């Protein structure tokens, strides 16, 4: 079973904020490319590009 790290809300402009726990796990900072991959059964994987 997947572990939920946190949640975020979509703004009216269609933007999200990556919470600090996710940024740390991705080793991501401002200006980095974040990739959203669609996997089986419609699951979305978030990774650093």
List, for residues 2-23, the tens digit of each pLDDT value. Answer: 899 999 999 999 999 999 999 9
**Largest interatomic CA distance in the chain:** 32
Q: Which 8-state DSSP code applies to residue 14?
A: S
Residues 13 and 48: their CA atoms lie apart, in Å, by 22
What b/e sequence results for 18-41 when a residue is b if at least 16 CB atoms lie within 10 Å of its CB, and e otherwise? beeeebeeeebeeeeeeeeeeeee
pLDDT more than 90, % of the chain? 90
- Verdict on whether the full-model pTM lies above 0.85: no
Residues 33 and 47: their CA atoms lie apart, in Å, by 9
């Amino acid at each position: 079973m997947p572990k939920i790290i946190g949640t975020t809300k979509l703004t009216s402009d269609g933007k999200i904020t990556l919470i600090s726990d996710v940024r740390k796990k991705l080793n991501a900072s401002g200006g980095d490319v974040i990739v959203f991959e669609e996997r089986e059964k419609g699951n979305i994987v978030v990774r650093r590009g």
